[in-house]
């Protein structure tokens, strides 16, 4: 790009050599560099956490993906892969509730139930799988659970139910769907599917226990 400037317009402070080169009335042609352009602004949406939305009583926009799914998946897989009191203490919220048909267990009661299960069924396992995604309507993750084990240990006891002596029975219950709520990195509730087989009450019945529960 070039720009023609009348010689007379040149600053008096211009170098003498420049002024002597051009006679009065001549034009000075100056080549200028092309204008510098700023790179186009990159636009994007960075999502970190939506805890501030919850504090304001707002919901995460539905058009956004579930960014918490990977962490939720790891949390749930870690919980269901081990019956460990430390794991329970670190993954369950203080107001945790486990719902199994008409029975609801608090965090402490649930911990005692699992302690009894582990003592009664040493090879007890929750075979669980989940993608960690929270349903857009109820905000709960779905976990497919299948219970297996053999009642070769201590008697099995649940709160409010008759103790079941060691029966030697091998258990392999049908898969059940658990609905799990997770808030701020803690499991706040687990609800066993009323229509499926792998619930704790189903386990109790499978080893010989008789529980009067609502259908």
Q: What is the pLDDT of residues 11-62, one digit of tens each?
A: 555 555 555 554 555 555 555 555 565 554 444 444 445 555 556 665 655 5
Residue located via tokens 């790009």? 1
Burial class (CB in 10 A: 0-12, 13-18, 19+), 47: exposed
Residues 24 and 79 in one domain: no
185 located within any domain: yes
Question: What is the tally of structural domains in the chain?
Answer: 2
* Integer Cα distance of 161 and 28 in angstroms: 104
* Same-domain check for residues 176 and 95: yes
Residue that has been written with the tokens 């870690």 in this structure? 78
Note the pLDDT tens digit of each residue in 150-176: 999 999 999 889 999 999 999 999 999
Which domain does 14 fall in, by range? 2-31
* Continuous segment of H or E residues that includes residue 2: strand 2-6
CA distance 206 to 170: 9
Digit-coded pLDDT (tens) for 67-120? 788 999 999 999 998 888 888 989 999 999 999 988 999 999 999 999 999 999
> Does residue 52 fall inside a structural domain?
no
Rounded to whole angstroms, how far apart are CA atoms 25 and 92?
Answer: 89
Q: pTM for the full model? A: 0.67
């Amino acid at each position: 790009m070039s720009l023609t400037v009348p010689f007379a317009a040149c600053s008096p402070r211009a170098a003498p050599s420049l002024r002597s080169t051009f006679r009065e009335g001549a034009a000075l042609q100056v080549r200028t560099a092309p204008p510098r352009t700023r790179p186009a602004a990159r636009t994007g949406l960075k999502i970190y956490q939506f805890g501030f939305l919850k504090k304001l009583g707002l919901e995460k926009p539905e058009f956004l993906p579930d960014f918490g799914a990977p962490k939720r998946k790891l949390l749930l897989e870690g919980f269901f892969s081990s019956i460990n009191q430390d794991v329970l203490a670190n993954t369950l919220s203080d107001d945790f509730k486990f719902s199994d048909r008409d029975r609801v267990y608090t965090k402490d009661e649930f911990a005692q139930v699992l302690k009894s299960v582990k003592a009664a069924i040493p090879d007890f396992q929750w075979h669980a799988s989940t993608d960690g995604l929270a349903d857009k309507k109820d905000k709960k993750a779905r976990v497919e659970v299948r219970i297996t084990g053999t009642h070769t240990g201590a008697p099995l006891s649940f709160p409010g139910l008759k103790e079941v002596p060691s029966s030697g029975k091998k258990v392999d219950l049908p898969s059940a769907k658990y609905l799990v709520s997770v808030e701020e990195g803690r499991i706040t509730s687990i609800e066993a599917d009323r229509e499926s087989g792998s619930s704790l009450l189903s386990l109790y019945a499978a080893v010989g226990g008789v529980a009067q529960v609502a259908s």
